[in-house]
Structure 1
Amino acid sequence: MSINVPEVKTEEQVSSVNDYIKKVLALIEKEEVTEEEAKWVTKETVDGFREHVNPGFLAYRKTVTEGGQFAAVEWSDEGSCFTDVNGKKYIDCLGGFGIYNVGHRNPKVVKAVSDQMKRQALHSQDLLDPLRAMLAKILADITPGDLKYAFFTNSGTESVEASLKLAKMYSDRTTFISTTRSFHGKSLGSLSGTAKGMFRKPFLPLIPGFRHVPFGDIDMMRKTFETCAMVGEDVAAVILEPIQGEGGIIIPPQDYLKQVRALCDEYDALLIFDEVQTGMGRTGKMFAAELFDVVPDILCLAKAFGGGVMPAGAIVAREKVFKSWFDNPFMHTTTFGGNPLACAAAIATIDILLEDKLPERAAEVGEYFLKGLKEAAAGHEDKVFEIRGQGLMIGIEFHQDEIGYEVSKGMFDKGILVAGTLVNSKTIRIEPPLTMSYEEVDTVIQAFKEVLPTVQITN
């Protein structure tokens, strides 16, 4: 029998790696790079993705570039824009899928994180860390209704996972209702709530007990509750995005969310709002729940929660729900969730949103943006099916996937980044920073107006 002996790195190989690391660190330190350095960065990035990250990303990125060239290698960012390594500037209308609500590298967020870094970066895991307590108090004060206790995470899917585990501990029920076209993340629990079959099939069976009903169909929701009760599989919780993001910016029918709330109350089930994308001011309110005058039992946050500087997320829950974790606070933990740097970033982010009235600004700028896009699309009804949105969460739905791809490419060539949604590829999203200027909005609208006539319809 042969034995695999690990290959020992030679001194020369180790030295080569060390040299490479020093070259990369020196580039990080530089404010500007030369043309030669930019070419090296581009080559290393493309080669690195092909050989060590995932070559599939290269094929994907070609769909948004001119002449089949690889997409720009991003290098720096500020305000509503990012700049590639060659110095070309782009208006960011993707916003990292809704990360940059307070802008790219907002100085207040950067300062808060930098100041905290000078004192302590990560917590001991054993002593009481102050910023976690302070951020939890702030969330209790700004979230709707009687949401009171917070648990901190590093991402949206982690927030959803935490909400599902909390709901399971609240009662002995195991049935969850989600909706079609929903997106709640890709870890196994959150993926069980996500609707798109392409993401689900390779990992089946997922967490048992999940049922999906059409988003916006209150009659089907009611029948599902009734059926589950009849067969002894009572519903533990309903998980919803107040406005579906990845599904294509789908706004619910009037009173739908209130009716879902009423059903949950009638059947003693919990209501979970996944506000990972709709939260932190994007829809014109601090939380989309406020738009519909509905208070969930658990609210999930992430993406913009860290101010576009730190990965950060949270769930906020009512005391009657959260107290399931009182007896043993170690039932669900995460090493880096609620770390001092992330908490500093979130606190500064909330300060900016409140002080600069960014939710209100999102409502005003969003209305202006939506009107301008609709006017630009006039006469192209054969290409554009619908333009819809709430605040600075806007979707442009086309009749064909190919039209959306071509529009995205055309906009990118003009220095504007947009992208399709993960669940609905016919729809491209507009989710820029809430700090975006009216001049930048006008530039995007004009580019959209110029690109539309150049797009050909295929049979």
Structure 2
Amino acid sequence: MTGTLTADLTADAAVRADDRAHVFHSWSAQALIDPLPVAGGQGSTFWDYAGNSYLDFSSQLVNLNLGHQHPDLVQAIQKQAGRLATIQPSMANDVRGELARRISDVAPDGFEKVFFTNGGADANENAVRMARQFTGRRKVLSMYRSYHGNTTTAISLTGDPRRWANEPGDGSVAHFFGPYTYRSPFHSDSPEQETARALEHLEQTIVLEGAQTIAAVIIETVVGTNGVLVPPPGYLPGVRELCDKYGIVYIADEVMVGFGRIGEWFAFQAFDVVPDLVTFAKGVNSGYVPLGGVVISDRIAEHFDTVTFPGGLTYSGHPLACAAGVATFEVFERDGILERVRDLGQRVVEPALHEIARRHPSVGDVRGRGLFWAIELVRDRESREPLVPFNATGVDAAPVAAVMAAAKKGGVWPFSHFNRVHVAPPLVIEEEELVRGLDVIDGALHAADEYL
């Protein structure tokens, strides 16, 4: 791709000038950033105005599951825009209803209703609202290592440091430690022991917080930004049992890992568990038009048959977004997306990352599933001291910044968070591209080795 691109430095300067003068960016000190002007994208690649192209190893924000400018999604939006661009959510709409039906079809039995939102944060907000209305309780438990969104309750649920500056928020939230076998907070020495101790800790938290006060437990099925933490065997079924024991609603946050990221329609389907509410966004239509939602179990949906649900959004189930969602289902089924994600994850990514870990002393752990992996970087494999401190900024974050810079120089744009580099390319990535991107990351990790 690089050889076919032509630089347009005039356009680059114009885009950069407007952005710096007028766009207020999220999670940023505005004068300390320099956003990359992006000119276009196709498949697993995007490019800037300076003639540089990048393999998108982060799928933007782990949402671009079907890649840039997928023709089926683009055509679906264009066709819908020509027929009916928008309609309010209180009216029935064909593509909204079809997408809800298709989501219900791939959910477990007993999930017939879908409430549409604009994205993941408000999906989590509304799932919590449903749980509170259904149980008559207020409190919600969530993990310290988590991210659930930036709206009031969602950011309060979030465990990572982005919550701190937004406090006080929703005061009816309490946090607990989830399983993390590489850095066990329970001093476990096996996945089985980690499961048992993590569940014991969760039950103690429930008892001490007052089970009769707790409406819901919300868990990212595979913790995303905060580590790509795959739950050890038995953990999620154990959470299900605790929720049943104490009458608590189990919310599965599938915003990042739903719709194929680990090779399943919903990630919880790989872990022998069925939640009560399932939140989604991102991969449902690759973010081509903002869309999220809550898949609702029948027992909770029935509560609202005669009780008004106190929530709604002007753009709930927007026809353009739903048209792209319907097209997403068609592409997944026609092209065998789930099967190829499982194949590429097992046959290409997993062995390559383990070989990378063997070669680089800065790699403490690699973990993941499907096309969702984390490389955890350390200063010392024995002590497992992180390469950069928790919540590192500025000079403290330099080692991982150096890895990212080396990867980008090699034409790969990965995702990083604290002492980790994540591998999360579009699910449509070609095998040759995937291998090439992993090779670039392999080379970039020499920058981390130099800090040991």
TM-score (norm 2): 0.86
Match of 2:432 among 425, 432, 439: 439
Q: Please tell me whether residue 92 in structure 1 is matched to residue 56 in structure 2.
A: yes
Q: Which residue in the other structure is 2:413 paired with?
A: 417
The equivalent of 1:212 in structure 2 is: 175
User: Conserved in 2, the CA contact under 8 Å of 1:377 and 1:449?
Assistant: no
CA distance in 1, matches of 2:76, 2:365: 41
Q: Following the alignment from structure 2 to structure 1, what is the Cα–Cα distance between the partners of residues 295 and 12?
A: 46
Q: Percent identity?
A: 28
Q: What amino acid is aligned across from residue 82 of structure 1 in structure 2?
A: F
**Residue 200 of structure 1: how far off its partner (Å):** 2.2
Q: How does 1:279-298 map to 2 (within 5 A)?
A: 279-298=258-277
Matched, 1:397 2:360: no
Match of residue 221, structure 1, among 175, 180, 202 = 202
Preserved contact between residue 72 and residue 85 of structure 1 (Cα < 8 Å) = no
Question: Does the 8 Å contact 1:166/1:324 carry over to 2?
Answer: no
Structure-2 separation of matches of 1:432 and 1:78: 13
Q: Which amino acid aligns with 1:370?
A: E
- Is the 1:248–1:428 Cα contact (8 Å) retained in structure 2? no
Q: Deviations over 1:22-56 (max 9, x none)?
A: xxxxxxxxxx987353343354245336x755773
Q: Deviations over 1:123-147 (max 9, x none)?
A: 0455322222221111111112321
Aligned residues: 411
TM-score by length of structure 1 reads: 0.85
Superposed, 1:101-250 pairs within 5 Å as 101-196=65-160, 198-216=161-179, 217-229=198-210, 233-250=212-229
1:358 is matched by which residue type in structure 2?
A: I
| Structure 2 equivalent of residue 324 of structure 1 | 303
Counterpart position of 2:42? 78
Query: Is the CA contact (8 Å cut-off) linking 2:64 and 2:287 kept in structure 1?
Result: yes
- 2:360 corresponds to which residue? 380
Where do residues 264-279 of structure 1 align in structure 2 (5 Å cutoff)?
264-279=243-258
> Partners of 1:57 and 1:389 in 2: how far apart?
33
Alignment of 1:293-312 (within 5 A): 293-312=272-291
CA drift of 1:174 comes to 1.1
Letter matched to residue 110 of structure 1: V
Which residue matches 2:294? 315
Report the alpha carbon displacement of residue 329 of structure 1 after superposing the two structures with TM. 5.2
Corresponding residue number in structure 2 for 1:262? 241
SS of 1:113's equivalent?
Answer: helix
Partners of 2:447 and 2:110 lie apart in 1 by 52
Preserved CA contact (<8 Å) 1:45 1:73: no
- Which stretch shows the higher mean deviation, 163-172 or 325-334? 325-334
More displaced stretch, 32-41 vs 100-109: 32-41
Structure 2 residue identity aligned to 1:292: F
Question: 1:175, 1:233 within 8 Å by CA — same for their partners in 2?
Answer: no
Confirm or deny: 8 A CA contact 2:149 2:158 kept in the other structure.
yes
Q: Which protein is bigger by CA-based radius of gyration?
A: 1
Secondary structure in 1 aligned to 2:445?
helix
Q: 1:449 aligns with which of 439, 442, 445?
A: 442
CA distance in structure 2 between the aligned counterparts of 1:71 and 1:139, rounded to whole angstroms: 35
Whole-Å Cα distance in 1 between the matches of residues 268 and 308 of structure 2?
A: 28
Q: Contact between 2:366 and 2:373, CA under 8 Å: does it hold in 1?
A: yes
What is the DSSP-based 3-state SS (H/G/I as helix, E as strand, rest coil) of the residue aligned with 2:75?
Answer: helix
Corresponding position of 2:190: none
| Residues 325 and 331, structure 1, Cα contact 8 Å, conserved in 2 | no
Q: Is the 8 A contact 1:78 1:103 kept in 2?
A: yes
